[in-house]
Amino acid sequence: MEDWIGEDNPVRLIDAFVDELDLAELGFGGIDPEATGRPSYHPSLLLKLYIYGYLNRVQSSRRLEREAGRNIEVMWLLGRLAPDHKTIADFRKDNGPALGKVCARFVELCREMGLLTTASVAIDGSKFKAVNNRDKNFTRAKVERRRAQLEESVARYLSQLDAADRQEPTEALAAKVTRLTEKLTKLKEQMAKLVVHEEQMLASSDQQISLTDPDSRSMATSGRGSGVVGYNVQVAVDTKHHLIVTHEVTNRGSDRAQLANMAKQAKAVLRTETLEAVADRGYFSSSEILACHEAGITVTLPKPMTSGAKSEGRFGKQDFAYQPEEDVYRCPAGERLPRPRHLTLRTDLP
């Protein structure tokens, strides 16, 4: 199998990196085997598998289990051992803080190798869907909407029962009344549960709860009227080598209050007196920009186009109309700008 894994294979880098780590100091459990019972998988093997899955975009514990039994690289990395999906999932669940320290150690290694010498980062956030279903997430609006739906269903079934009482009794009518009664009982149970969820929701700091994944929150996405129950993962990336300098998982749906926090973290990791940070318009906030300035961080980001932007003399590309018959662009002031032509470099001139 050694012949299949070349010297320049990234798998060898994973193997060497993990072998150099002091897993006990980082906080991993299961390093010393128990006195009784079957020996568990050593955390170094599971960490190698975790990093391999991260680099190859294989996040599912079941997929990693399959890779351990069929992928030559993974078989070499694990010494032909094949942990099951529950072992892999429990390793990630039980060693969250230790995995975070491994990421920090990797950043330190990149700094020691001279890969993080540029004091410039790009900051952005991504929404990641949680295990929590939308129906298991409750906000004030969702509770009110669900209560209205339940009350409407109760009124409809009561109306049907009233209509049934005015008809001649038959076996079919009796069966219908039984079904309606059972449905009303279930609706009353749902109403009682909704009251409990509403109390929990109102007692929370942000007036929102998620039943399956308590830390996840409902967040708006780029699509109009769409959203996801999950997390907002903030990342600061080195602009030269595109290495992740620092990251943070938050349950705040907006990026507007994340700029200074992420920029200061990146500045601390890079150990630099000054820092240049680039972000998109979703991070624009006067207080955040001021906090960055006071911390020695220069921020570059576009200002959102507000209703008063045009009165300030700022225009967007939508304000420049193309005139195909003249092949020019007309600006808001009425001036015409010819479209630039491609230039040809003359090499025959003295």
Q: Where are the domains of the chain?
A: 2-113, 134-210, 217-300
pLDDT digits (tens, 9 = 90+) for 287-316: 999 999 999 999 999 887 665 555 556 677
What is this structure's pTM? 0.70
- When pLDDT is cut at 50, 70 and 90, the band that residue 227 belongs to is confident
- How crowded is residue 274: how many other Cβ atoms within 10 Å of its Cβ? 11
Phi and psi angles of residue 298, each rounded to the nearest 5 degrees, phi first: -95, 120
- When pLDDT is cut at 50, 70 and 90, the band that residue 18 belongs to is very high
pLDDT digits (tens, 9 = 90+) for 98-154: 998 998 899 888 888 888 888 999 999 998 888 878 888 999 989 999 999 999 999
CA pair distance 168, 8, nearest whole angstrom: 86
CA pair distance 124, 255, nearest whole angstrom: 8
Average of pLDDT values for 199-216?
89
Q: Is the pLDDT of residue 339 over 60?
A: yes
What pLDDT, on a 0 to 100 scale, did the predictor assign at position 37?
66
What pLDDT, on a 0 to 100 scale, did the predictor assign at position 288?
94
Q: Which of 16, 17, 40, 38 is nearest to 30 (CA)?
A: 40
Distances (CA, A) of 2 to 12, 49, 69, 79, 257: 11, 18, 17, 11, 50
